[in-house]
Amino acid sequence: MNEILDKFEPVAVDLWESLVAYVGGPWFSYQLMAIVAAYLLAWLLSRPVSGFFEVRARQIKGKPKLLRFVVAALHRVHSILFMLLLGSTLAVMINITWPSRSYLISAMFKLALAWVVMSVLSQIIRSRTISRVVALAGWTYAALYILGITDNATLFLDKIGFAIGDARITLLLLVKVAVVLTLTLWFAIAAGSFFERRIKHSEELTPSLRVLIGKMLKITLVILAVLVSMSGLGIDLTAFTVFSGAVGVGIGFGLQKVVSNFISGIIILLDRSIKPGDTISLGETFGWIRELSARFVSVVTRDGREYLIPNEDFITHEVINWSFSNELVRLDVHFGVDYDSDPHEVTRIAIEAAATIDRVVPSNKPVCWITGFGDSSLDFILRFWILDPQNGLTNIKGKVLLAIWDAFKANGVGIPFPHREIIMRTPVQLEPPTPKPEA
């Protein structure tokens, strides 16, 4: 570190002397006052200007990407006005005096322009944190370039580092890796999402195959992005063999569940046991599959809750897929009638009542069978078929039972209630109640 400081000491001294000489001149004060005046004027104009353009921005319909850039520009009205005022001041000063007397305004104008451009263009990235990091990193590089100190900064960062075997890791290399890796990963993820959306709309592939191809394509693009970034920066990947082996062992022990869920997800997609849109039951969870992810399966229940169930549970637990081979699902409804009823008529009435419900499939006619002679009733079971289990099972059973109730009421069929006989072993004498004395 001392060698680095000794090497850059003459450069720092020259820069400091030049800065002191420039600041001591009268034109520095004039430029500084012009910059402050431009900043205050931009601050005064920012509110009415943003209000004027905000009204027109609300009229933009059906163009979400354009609206996103317009909103980003409206949030930076002060910076844009400040940049425009500096540009106008710079143009006037270049025409009336020497260019060297407007160096500070020129540098400030370029810095403001770079900040506006980077902060607006970074809105392409949806993540606010990554967007801000990209905007700050881009503006920092632009600032170094505008001030003409990129070579010195590059040399300084290249001198700070350490060696791993035959490879030398410098701060400059880490910065390059971070920038290049961020850009390539962003491009790989964006391209993977684009292709995944296109594959989802392909009618020639099954739903499970669409998800499998989309996920594998995205993972492949990310891996290629990392390898291309490292190779493009001249990094020898063999130098990380031992390090990557140690990291791999650590990941193997620490991320067992993550890896297990990932492999289980691939198995689910390959064997096509479940797919988006299927109605499933897993334990006490009943719902339909909204999405298959690399780590979990999204299941939406009838009450609007969304369960994120790990893929491993679909491999190791019993899963009921109500729509695995076809959409037909048979439901059973149990009921009883009193002994005075004709079981043949009860069967006919129950079948006709179930056929009046819209969701009951007419092609597979309902059937009704007597199942036993109960203590207080003749017991029956009614079986019918539906095609849309994702719309609920309890509600359709309730509608069928109500239809049976109405049909029984109309035809004089009674639904019994339990009768119990009590036999007293000893005689019981009932006495009339004792009258209350009059007050």
- Strongest mean pLDDT among 35-49, 186-200, 225-239, 393-407: 393-407
- pLDDT-based confidence at residue 263 (cuts at 50, 70, 90): confident
**Per-residue pLDDT tens over the stretch 348-385:** 999 999 999 999 988 889 999 999 998 888 999 999 99
Q: What is the pLDDT of residue 147?
A: 67
Alpha helix (H) ranges present in 24-76? Answer: 26-57, 64-74
Q: How far, in Å, CA of 389 to CA of 144, rounded?
A: 63
Query: Bigger pLDDT: 273 or 407?
Result: 407
Q: How far, in Å, CA of 209 to CA of 272, rounded?
A: 8
Q: What is the pLDDT of residue 344?
A: 92
**Minimal CA–CA distance to 198: which of 219, 185, 186, 214?**
214
Give percent of the chain with pLDDT exceeding 90. Answer: 12
For residue 344 the two structure tokens come to 């043949």
**Minimal CA–CA distance to 354: which of 367, 336, 337, 338?**
367
Q: How far, in Å, CA of 196 to CA of 399, rounded?
A: 41
Q: What is the mean pLDDT of the chain?
A: 76
* Burial bucket for residue 346 (CB in 10 Å: 0-12, 13-18, 19+): buried
Q: What is the pLDDT of residue 349?
A: 93
- Phi first, then psi: give them for residue 94, nearest 5 degrees: -65, -35
Asked whether residue 313 carries a pLDDT value surpassing 90, the answer given is no
Q: How far, in Å, CA of 335 to CA of 340, rounded?
A: 15
Q: What is the pLDDT of residue 351?
A: 92
User: What's the CA dihedral at 116, 122, 126, 129 to 10 degrees?
Assistant: -80
Domains and their CATH numbers in the chain: 2-159 (no CATH), 168-254 (no CATH), 276-321 (2.30.30.60), 329-411 (3.30.70.100)
Angle formed by the axes of helices 77-96 and 103-121, to 10°? 150
Please give the C-alpha separations between residue 315 and each of 119, 263, 272, 289, in angstroms, as whole numbers: 47, 10, 12, 16
Give percent of the chain with pLDDT exceeding 70. Answer: 67
Asked whether residue 238 carries a pLDDT value surpassing 80, the answer given is no
Q: How far, in Å, CA of 350 to CA of 331, rounded?
A: 14
CA angle, 31 then 35 then 36, to 5° = 120
For residues 91 and 142, the answer to whether their CB atoms sit within 8 Å is no
For residue 360, the 8-state DSSP code is B
- Using left for φ > 0, alpha for ψ between -120 and 50, and beta otherwise, residue 272 falls in left
Query: Bigger pLDDT: 46 or 153?
Result: 46
Q: What is the pLDDT of residue 383?
A: 93
**Per-residue pLDDT tens over the stretch 44-84:** 888 887 777 777 767 667 666 666 667 777 777 777 888 88
- pLDDT-based confidence at residue 17 (cuts at 50, 70, 90): low
Low-confidence winner among 138-152, 217-231, 271-285 (lowest mean pLDDT): 138-152
| Number of Cα atoms under 13 Å in the Cβ half of residue 5 | 2
Low-confidence winner among 238-247, 252-261, 330-339 (lowest mean pLDDT): 238-247
Question: What does the pLDDT average to over 335-341?
Answer: 90
Low-confidence winner among 114-118, 167-171, 344-348 (lowest mean pLDDT): 167-171
- Strongest mean pLDDT among 55-64, 259-268, 307-316, 403-412: 403-412
Strands 296-301 and 306-310, bridge-based pairing: antiparallel
Question: What does the pLDDT average to over 262-268?
Answer: 79
